Amino acid sequence: MFRDVSSCNTYNYGDALYWDARYMQEQGGAFDWYQRYSSLRPFVRKFVPTSSRVLMVGCGNALMSEDMVKDGYEDIMNIDISSVAIETMRRKYEYIPQLKYMQMDVRDMSFFPDESFGNVIDKGMALHMFPILHTKFLTSILS
């Protein structure tokens, strides 16, 4: 069930099959949207205590959670719509207990009880899942 991702556009970003195909093509790679943890560290450290239970939304194959654990963060739940990304990351980090991975569509978070997390980090998922936000974001930074 492989799809050619070259024909996909931002309207496919809410489709798990799009992301599965993309991560199958990028097998073994890592990609951090917008910024790496090293650039975001001052802000994350200021607002997110290392003891906080963190939800990383749309984790993909990014290194940010790994870098946060190296920086002292103790409990990071990573979710993504792509089962390929989640299985890849789960295998990669199976020996790092601070990192947990779950395939999940962020539009349905009913699995977690209210107030399950002290902090939520989203580096780009909202812009990709909701194309109108992406358009407004690009318009605001390009004008």
The kind and range of the H/E element at 79 are strand 75-80
Note down pLDDT in tens along the chain; length 143 residues: 444 445 445 557 677 777 777 777 777 676 666 678 898 899 899 999 999 999 999 888 889 999 999 999 999 999 999 899 999 999 999 999 999 999 998 888 899 999 999 998 887 654 455 554 445 544 554 54
Distance CA 93, CA 40 (A): 22
Domain chopping of the chain, boundaries: 5-142
Q: What is the pTM of this model?
A: 0.77
Q: Do 107 and 128 form a contact (C-beta atoms < 8 A)?
A: no
CATH architecture for the domain at 5-142: 3-Layer(aba) Sandwich (3.40)
